[in-house]
Amino acid sequence: MRICVVGAGLAGALLAWRLRLADRTAEVELAGPPEPADATAASGGIVRGFEPDAALRAEATASLAELYGSRLLRGWAAYRETGSVYIQAGPPPLPSDLAAICAALPGSASLADAPGFPDRPPAVVERRAGFVAPGALRREIVADLLRIGGRRTTAPVTGLTEEPDGALTLRHGTSRTTAGAAAGTASGTMAATTFDLVVLAAGPWTPGLLTLLGLPCDGLRTKRVQYTVHAAENPPSRVFVDETTSLYGRPHAKGLLLGVPSDRHDVDPDDRWPEPALAHAASALARVTFPGLRLGPAVRTVVAADCYHPDPGLRLRPVSGASPRLSTFTGGSGGAAKTALAASRTAAEELLRLRTPA
């Protein structure tokens, strides 16, 4: 079976890696820029088990359990355990909502007064939680994909054709292709390559790629993501989300990472121009929320985009009007770093269950 995953962010890299690990006979190719300035590179990397949505909570919990159980993955991801506080705006979660987290990570999650957040409702407090470096994890996953015989190309996709036998041919621009250790490296122009399955996992570039290919976006949209790193004294020690104010953040080597959600959809994923109002709102909320915090000047502001879907979650989705051999793997809606390990495993299993016609 020949499979191409288009998009070299964390989601696409993990999916290609899972496919090759699960079936060493599969010819797996990962296509995308060598080190894209994407949501993976920009991500704050917060990982925890709790999510308000039950399905996303199950994936976040499974991902965190796999990360926590693997010294190799923790090292690749530069995992730092800080603990987590999640404050819901509505009624607090039920104890049953935390049962699966505690089953996977015994004693990790509880409902308690939010430490460091005065006058807030009971929060989900997790001990086994923190943050990772998604860009570092992506880099190690791609390197291991090549070690186990996968292929990597930086070819931009320019077109797609369904062949009479149902296979899909991708047209490419000029590229550099790297094969597994036994096959070496070659560079040049790759005009077209035919695959049994193609997955578009290009994150915020997926809607534009679908449009380029003459296909509908099926609800996939881009949305602005922005946060600012501040110098800080006495910052909160845990990663946190406070839905009552919309403020989120985590400890950072240079102080404190702070952000609030943007409401800008359909943004150009290559637009890196910061919105000062978002940075101001986050810093103002932090000063009110944490009376003991001494927030210093901004060290840097990170701007990116992510791919959102009305039914959020990183999963395989068919493309309307297209071959059943084509799917998308995106729509993490700002939270894919927490769910990517489990979601990529599920997607790989689903793809490998597909069978091409005799």
Residue 12 burial by CB count (10 A; 0-12/13-18/19+): exposed, middle or buried? Answer: buried
Would you state the structure tokens that stand for residue 34, as one six-digit string?
Answer: 């060598």
pLDDT at res. 112: 94
- Number of Cβ within 10 Å of residue 309's Cβ equals 19
pLDDT at res. 6: 97
Question: Is the pTM above the cut of 0.85?
Answer: yes
The letter for the amino acid at 233 is E
Would you state the structure tokens that stand for residue 84, as one six-digit string?
Answer: 């987590």
pLDDT at res. 147: 98
Q: How far is CA 323 from the centre of its chain?
A: 26
Instruction: pLDDT tens for the chain, 358 residues: list them.
Output: 999 999 989 999 999 999 999 999 999 999 998 776 666 777 889 999 999 999 999 999 999 999 999 999 999 999 999 999 999 998 889 999 999 999 999 999 999 999 889 889 999 999 999 999 999 999 999 999 999 999 999 988 999 999 999 999 999 876 555 555 433 334 445 579 999 999 999 999 999 999 999 999 999 999 999 999 999 999 999 999 999 999 999 999 999 999 999 999 999 999 989 999 999 999 999 999 999 999 999 999 999 999 999 999 999 999 999 999 999 999 988 888 999 999 999 999 999 997 544 3
Would you state the structure tokens that stand for residue 310, as one six-digit string?
Answer: 């009305």
Would you state the structure tokens that stand for residue 47, as one six-digit string?
Answer: 């990982």
pLDDT at res. 333: 84
> Beta partners for 189?
174
Superfamily of domain 1-45+133-176+189-220+310-357: FAD/NAD(P)-binding domain (3.50.50.60)
The letter for the amino acid at 298 is A
pLDDT at res. 119: 85
- In angstroms, the CA 66 to CA 203 distance is 23
pLDDT at res. 358: 37
Per DSSP, the three-state class of 328 is strand
pLDDT at res. 40: 73
Measuring CA to CA, how many Å separate 124 from each of 1, 7, 56? 44, 34, 15
Q: For the chain, give the longest Cα–Cα distance.
A: 68
Angle between helices 336-353 and 10-22 in degrees, nearest 10: 40
Which H, E and C letters describe 151-194, residue by residue?
EEECCCEEEEEECCCCCEEEEECEEEEECCCCCCEEEEECCEEE
- Number of Cβ within 10 Å of residue 95's Cβ equals 11
Give the number of residues written for the chain.
358
CB 30 within 8 A of CB 8: yes
Containing 279, the helix (H) or strand (E) segment is: helix 276-289
Query: Residue 305: CB partners within 8 Å, gap ≥ 6?
Result: 39, 203, 204, 222, 223, 224, 225, 267, 268, 269, 271
